[in-house]
C-alpha cells in the first residue's frame, strides 16, 4: 500500500511538513495546527529532524502526538550524518518502538566546521545507506506479522511483514554541493535501488523546474512517485533565508511583489497566490499530489490549497 492515500476531503493527495517546537507555548500552538491540518485528511504529516540529531526527542514527541490524536500517518525525518551504525540503529529502533512506520531518510548536513568524510561524518555517508539500514532494522524488529484466524482460538496465520514506507529527498535544481550536474539524479536512483518508495522535493519557484526534473529522473530510470514540495513564502526576510539555504536564484517577480506590499496580510496573500499558482501548474503537469511546508501554521497552507482549488474555501482560508 502506498503512503500517498486516495484523497477524500481534497481533490488530490496532500501532505504537510512541520518542525518540533522550541517552547511549551509553541507546543500548544502546534497541536492546534496539527488538528486543523488533520481535518483535510492528508496522506501524512512529516516532522523534521534537527541537524545532527539536535531535536530527536522533540521530533518523536510530535510524531507520537500525531499518532495518538489524529488518524493521519506520522512520517519521521531522520538524518544519518555524524552517526555511527550503532547510534543510527538504536535511533531507528526507538522510532519503530514508538509505532512510527514511515520515514524520510536523509543524509543531513554536518554542522558547520565539522570535518567531512568517514572520520568526521560517522559511518553512514549517504541517505541511500540510511534507507537500507531502516529496512534492515525493521526486518529484525518484526520479521513477520501474525494475523489471528477467525473461529480458531489461539491460531494465527503468519504473514509477510508490512514494509516501512521510506521517502527520500530530491532536488529539482540539483543539490548545492553536487560535484557534477547529474549527481542528484544518480543519488535519487541509488536511494530508489536501496528501497525508497517515494521522493519529496526541495522547494522550487517555477513549475518547469519540477516538471523538467521529473522528466530527467524518469528518463534515468526513477519510477517512484516524486511529490513536489511547495512553500508559500510570505515575507522578504523568509525569501532571503530560503534562497541562502537552498542556493536557488532569487525568483524576481515574487521578490518584487513581496517588497512592494506594505502590510503583513498583503504579503501573506502574495505568498499564497504564488504557491497556489505553482500547485495548479505542477498538478496540470502530472504531479501525484502536493507536499506543503507548513512552518507550523495551518492558515497559510490551507489558504494555498483553497486558492489552488484543492479544498473547498472556508471563511478562514479566504
In the complex, the residues that contact ligand FAD under the rule CB under 6 A are 48-49, 51, 77, 79, 104, 106-109, 116, 126-127, 169, 175, 177-179, 183-184, 187, 191, 200, 202, 229
Nearer to ligand FAD, 124 or 306 (CB): 124
> Could you tell me the smallest distance in angstroms from the CB atom of residue 263 to ligand FAD?
31
In the bound complex, what is the minimum distance in angstroms from residue 17's beta carbon to ligand FAD?
7
Angle at 189 between CA 187 and CA 190, to 5 degrees: 65
Q: Which residue is nearest to ligand FAD (CB)?
A: 107
For the bound state, the minimum distance from the C-beta of residue 246 to ligand FAD, rounded and expressed in Å, comes to 9
Parallel, antiparallel or unpaired: strands 198-201 and 226-227: parallel
Least CB distance to ligand FAD at residue 279 (A): 16
Return the number of the residue (301 or 306) whose C-beta is nearest ligand FAD. 301
C-alpha cell at 15: 501532505
**Least distance CB 238 / ligand FAD (angstroms):** 17
Q: DSSP labels for 2-64? A: -SSPPPSSSSS-EEEEE---SSHHHHHHHHHHHHHHHTT--SEEEE---GGGTTHHHHHHHHH
DSSP tag of 250: P
From 106, 1, 103, 5, select the one nearest 46 (Cα to Cα): 103
Radius of gyration of the chain (CA): 20
Instruction: Report the residue number, 187 or 282, with the smaller CB distance to ligand FAD.
Output: 187
Q: Residue 114 carries which DSSP code?
A: P
* Cα(3)–Cα(40) distance, integer angstroms: 16
Measured from the CB of residue 217, what is the shortest distance to ligand FAD in angstroms?
Answer: 12
Q: Round to the nearest angstrom and report the end-to-end CA distance of the chain.
A: 35
Nearer to ligand FAD, 279 or 306 (CB): 279
Report DSSP letters for 147-194, one per residue: EEPTTSTT-EEEEEPPPPEEEEEE-TT--TT-SSTTHHHHHHHHHHHH
Give least dist CB 254 to ligand FAD, A.
20
- Nearest residue (CB) to ligand FAD, 115 versus 153: 115
Residue among 289 and 306 whose Cβ is closer to ligand FAD: 289
Pairing state of beta strands 165-170 and 102-106?
A: parallel
Nearer to ligand FAD, 92 or 270 (CB): 92
Amino acid at each position: 500500500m502506498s503512503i500517498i492515500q486516495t484523497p477524500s476531503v481534497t481533490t488530490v493527495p496532500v501532505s504537510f511538513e512541520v518542525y518540533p517546537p522550541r517552547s511549551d507555548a509553541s507546543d500548544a500552538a502546534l497541536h492546534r495546527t496539527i488538528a486543523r491540518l488533520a481535518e483535510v485528511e492528508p496522506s501524512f504529516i512529516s516532522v523534521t529532524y534537527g541537524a545532527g540529531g539536535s531535536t530527536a526527542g522533540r521530533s518523536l514527541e510530535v510524531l507520537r502526538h500525531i499518532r495518538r490524536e489524529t488518524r493521519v500517518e506520522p512520517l519521521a525525518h531522520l538524518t544519518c550524518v555524524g552517526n555511527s551504525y550503532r547510534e543510527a540503529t538504536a535511533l531507528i529502533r526507538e522510532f519503530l518502538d514508538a509505532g512510527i512506520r514511515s520515514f524520510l531518510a536523509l543524509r543531513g548536513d554536518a554542522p558547520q566546521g565539522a570535518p567531512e568524510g568517514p572520520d568526521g561524518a560517522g559511518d553512514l555517508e549517504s541517505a541511500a545507506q540510511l534507507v537500507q539500514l531502516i529496512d534492515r532494522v525493521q526486518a529484525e524488529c518484526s520479521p513477520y506479522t501474525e494475523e489471528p484466524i477467525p473461529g480458531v482460538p489461539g491460531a494465527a496465520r503468519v504473514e509477510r511483514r508490512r514494509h516501512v514506507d521510506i521517502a527520500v529527498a530530491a532536488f529539482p535544481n540539483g543539490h548545492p554541493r553536487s560535484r557534477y550536474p547529474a549527481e542528484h539524479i544518480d543519488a535519487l536512483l541509488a536511494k530508489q535501488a536501496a528501497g525508497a518508495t517515494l521522493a519529496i522535493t526541495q522547494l522550487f519557484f517555477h513549475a518547469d523546474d519540477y516538471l523538467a526534473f521529473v522528466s530527467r529522473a524518469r528518463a534515468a530510470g526513477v519510477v517512484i512517485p516524486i511529490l513536489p514540495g511547495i512553500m508559500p513564502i510570505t515575507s522578504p526576510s523568509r525569501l532571503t533565508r530560503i534562497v541562502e539555504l537552498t542556493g536557488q536564484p532569487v525568483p524576481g517577480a515574487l521578490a518584487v511583489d513581496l517588497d512592494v506590499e506594505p502590510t503583513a496580510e498583503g504579503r501573506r496573500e502574495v505568498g499564497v497566490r504564488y504557491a497556489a499558482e505553482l500547485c495548479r501548474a505542477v498538478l496540470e503537469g502530472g504531479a501525484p499530489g502536493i507536499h506543503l511546508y507548513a512552518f507550523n501554521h495551518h492558515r497559510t497552507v490551507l489558504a494555498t490549497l483553497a486558492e489552488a482549488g484543492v479544498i473547498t474555501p472556508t471563511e478562514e482560508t479566504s
